[in-house]
Structure 1
Amino acid sequence: MAKKKASSIKDYTLKNGEKRYKFQVYLGVDPLTGNQMRTTKRGFKTRNEAKLALARIRLDVANGTYHQERAETYQELYDLWIVQYEKTVEESTFVKTRGYFKNHILPSMGSYKIDKIKIDICQKHFDEWASKLSKARTIKSYAALVLDFGIKRGYLQTNPFTHVETRIKTKKLIEAEDKDENFYNREQLIDFLKCCQLSLHYKSFALLRLLAFTGMRKSEALALTWNDFNIKENELSISKAIGRGERGRLYLKPTKTGSPRTIKVDEDTIAILKEWKRIQKQEYLVLGHNTMKPNQLIFSNSKNELIQLGQVEKWMYSVIKKHSLKKITPHGLRHTHCSLLFEAGASIKEVQDRLGHTDVKTTMDIYTHVSKKAQEGVIQKFVSFLE
């Protein structure tokens, strides 16, 4: 019995549960490049509708009258845009952006005809994203980029996302407001670091201490080499960070702002790093690694390679759970450092330079999250002045 030929038409399900059909068809060889050409058409409501469209294209190809059509759907326009977008951003940014489209934007809008996308449609999907996601505005911005690209290519005249109302207080945002602030006060930080020293390997403790006392991003700290550490001047040079690329691959890239900076480090943290360097030399020699090279990572895994970014959370949360401490994230240690700098009397400019903020607004946003003790100090100064 002859084997039944697999159908070119496949079904798929939209985010709202509706079924659609798509197909991929061979178009021949591109005379300009010599490469095989294929196109994918999707969005058909019935299998028969897809069969009819497929038959028409195959007939046109056979007669030599088929010409590749302009992008008709949001998905097809995205497919054109993403190729250009990849050339303009870091690999880690590209991977993150593609995830936004795969998980949120394309399931909602991929099958829409470009010329049928109106403001009400865009508002509807933004409201859906906002009801579930804390980054709804970010999702909306990326969705709008594809239509901006369509305007440049002449597919549409205006971008309906421009007029979407984003000032919506959603349940998700209300819940976020009820959560604890993502930083420690002075006493909480001291307690946290004591618990880290008691419960963690010295490498993990040294890393968390460094994050808390420098305000570095975890991606920057994990990219540091001993060559970045100036012991004589008590300084660290921060010029790179870890990025996550395709299939989770870790690689080194410039810092988030693209600007290197050099910061001072306190004597106690310097002593802790020196002690870790001594321990590292002994432990990694047993593992077969020479850690005395200038480009040796200060913090590396057992294979002497870059540490996964998620490992920092695991170390932190293990201590927090064991000692029943307030839960904050590794980025919360950066906010902690910033807040305590303000509490200690540092100026906005000093904090901005130390944390590597290119925009003073970022520093000011964190300034609004200073600890309650600092806020109480402000009102006490006011009362003392009146008295």
Structure 2
Amino acid sequence: MYTQELIKGKKWLAMADGPKHPVTGKRRQISRRGRTKKEAEQRVLNAIAKLKEYGIDETIVRKMTFGKLAAEWLRDYALTSGNKNNTIRIRQKEINILNKFMVQKIITEITTREYQKILNDLTEQGYARNTISGVHTTAGMIFRYAVKVKLLKESPVSGTSVPKKRLTIEDIENNKIEEKYLEKEELEEFLLTVKEFGLDMDLERFYLLAFSGMRSGELCALKWSDLNFETNEIRITKTIYSETNNMKDYELTPPKTPGSIRTIQIEDQIMEMLKDFQTEQKKIRLRSRIPAEDYHNENFVFSRENGYPFLQYNIIARMKRLLEKTSIKKRATPHIFRHTHISMLTEAGVDLPTIMKKVGHDDMKTTMKIYTHVTEKMKKDASQKVQETFGNILNIGIS
């Protein structure tokens, strides 16, 4: 080992040969500085030991900030994971949140305790638990990548967890399962309002959402080739996304999960409605003055006059307008129709696996909550009906 005193009594340099580079086979010299000769030599020995045992090159690691690591991981994730663009954008947003805390932090300086504090701070700042869970998942993938490519010995995320926020009375009151779906009477009122006050395409879109359980993005992405009028089936293979909410700036991507790719049976009346709608759309196209070269001929079921598809925000705006004309007080978005459809199928006596398959849920958590709640409600209603019907018999012999 070579040593040199750089500043008398204050700084020493030590240098020694480390293991050869595993790819190039070239010689690697390891140099370190210290306040004493012994400290500089020990730092060189430690660096060589890490290279030999873990393959970790400290010369690279000590310049690697979390921001650089996250960007490197995201490029690798986008190329190798097979995830669609929307998922990549979500991961980028989660990285942006992490960057607020440690973008310039050297990754070897990020401790488990410090990372747990970040999760705690996000909770205290009022971030939704789902958001924090997403951030935590992304951080875990980033640091596992760092271990895999020999930048870290172990991940600081290991052993940490998303804090459980203590529920307030308001949280409990606002989190009733009944708020997540429309009761039969509410659905009937809303659809009657659609019939009376709905604008162009409202009737077809809202009836289809209610009786199919599909997501609004899946509905906007539907093409006429996805509908089979002979078998009364709809094939769901895609969803639509637009970062700018511009009808011409959209992309079609696979649905949310593999289980979301499905073929569903639709009631005769809904399919007849859509068949009439298709006939009317063809007439509108024939009357249209839009030149063929300007027409977006992609065969969308719910399209504008120029052929471009409507996006989810249009359905949200239409629903808000209609809700204001009803007595419904629930904070409802188009997603409520998925949950409503689950409750409808449950009341109709459909089994849970079939319900999950129809709505395309890989995760049965939400479906199970609604299914259980409606089933329990049906049991209570059944008991009440028995009491109402046979009350006179039940009262015989009771003083």
Query: Which interval holds the TM-score relative to the shorter structure?
Result: 0.7 to 0.9
What SS does the aligned partner of 1:198 have?
helix
User: Do the aligned residues in 2 keep the contact of 1:240 with 1:254 (CA within 8 Å)?
Assistant: yes
Q: How does 1:145-184 map to 2 (within 5 A)?
A: 145-170=141-166, 175=171, 178-179=174-175, 181-184=179-182
- RMSD (Å), alpha carbons: 3.2
Q: How does 1:225-304 map to 2 (within 5 A)?
A: 225-244=223-242, 249-258=249-258, 260-284=261-285, 285-288=287-290, 296-304=299-307
Tell me if structure 2 keeps the 8 A contact 1:215–1:333.
yes
Alpha-carbon offset, residue 324 of structure 1: 4.1
1:261 shift after superposition: 1.9
Deviation of 1:306 after TM superposition, in Å, equals 2.4
Asked whether the equivalents of residues 236 and 263 of structure 1 are also in contact (C-alpha less than 8 Å), the reply is yes
Structure 1 partner of 2:24:
none
Partner of 2:84 in structure 1? Answer: 90
**Matched residues in 2 for 1:107 and 1:247: separation?**
27
2:145 is paired with a residue whose SS is helix
Mapped to 1, the partners of 2:127 and 2:190 lie a distance apart of 30
Structure 2: 5+ residue runs without aligned partners?
Answer: 1-58, 395-399
Residue type of the alignment partner of 1:327 = R
SS across alignment from 2:284: helix
- Flag the 1:164–1:186 CA change in 2: closer, same or farther, 3 A: same
Residues 61-106 of structure 1: CA distance to partner in whole angstroms, max 9, x if unpaired?
xxxxxxx94452111111211111111211111112212222x221
d(CA) in 1 for partners of 2:305, 2:153: 56
Alignment of 1:332-371 (within 5 A): 332-361=336-365, 363-370=367-374
Q: 1:280 to 1:188 in 2, by over 3 A?
A: same
Partner of 2:315: 312
CA distance in 1, matches of 2:173, 2:113: 29
Which residue number in structure 1 is paired with residue 211 of structure 2? 213
Q: Which has the larger radius of gyration?
A: 2
Alpha-carbon distance in structure 2 between the residues aligned to 1:359 and 1:345: 21
Q: Distance in 2 between matches of 1:173 and 1:357?
A: 30
Deviates more, 1:256-265 or 1:163-172: 163-172
Change (3 A) 1:327 1:276: farther
| 2:233–2:263 CA contact under 8 A, matched in 1 | yes
Whether the aligned pair in 1 keeps the contact of 2:290 and 2:306 (CA below 8 Å) is no
- Deviation digits for residues 120-143 of structure 1 (CA, Å, limit 9, x no counterpart): 211211122223122211221112
Distance apart, 1:362 and its partner CA: 5.5
1:184 match: secondary structure? coil
Structure 2 counterpart of 1:107:
100
Matched position secondary structure for 1:77: helix
Partner Cα distance (1:174, 1:343) in 2: 29
CA contact under 8 A between 1:133 and 1:172: conserved in structure 2? no
Deviates more, 1:211-220 or 1:256-265: 256-265
Q: Look up the equivalent residue of 1:262 and give its one-letter code.
A: T
Distance in 2 (alpha carbons) for counterparts of 1:140 and 1:378? 45
2-structure distance, mates of 1:301, 1:171: 45
Of 321, 334, 338, the match for 1:330: 334
User: Residues 298 and 307 of structure 2 are in contact (CA less than 8 Å); yes or no, is this contact kept in structure 1?
Assistant: no
Q: Which amino acid aligns with 2:331?
A: K
- The answer to whether the 8 A contact 1:240-1:253 is kept is yes
Q: Which structure 1 segments of 5+ residues have no match? A: 1-67
Q: Offset at 1:372?
A: 7.5
Deviation per CA, 1:307-329: give whole Å up to 9, x if none: 22222211111111233423312
Displacement of 1:254 in angstroms is 2.0
> Which secondary structure state, in structure 2, belongs to the residue aligned with residue 237 of structure 1?
strand
For residues 289 and 170 of structure 1, the distance between their equivalents in structure 2, rounded to whole angstroms, comes to 60
Instruction: Output the CA distance in 1 between the equivalents of 2:195 and 2:372.
Output: 30
CA separation of 1:356 and 1:323: change in aligned 2, threshold 3 A: same
1:229-272 CA distances to partner (integer Å, 9 max, x unpaired)? 11122111212221346897421122223353221111221222
Secondary structure of 1:162's match? coil
Per-residue deviation, 1:183: 0.9
1:7 matched to which residue of 2?
none
Q: Is 2:191 aligned against 1:188?
A: no
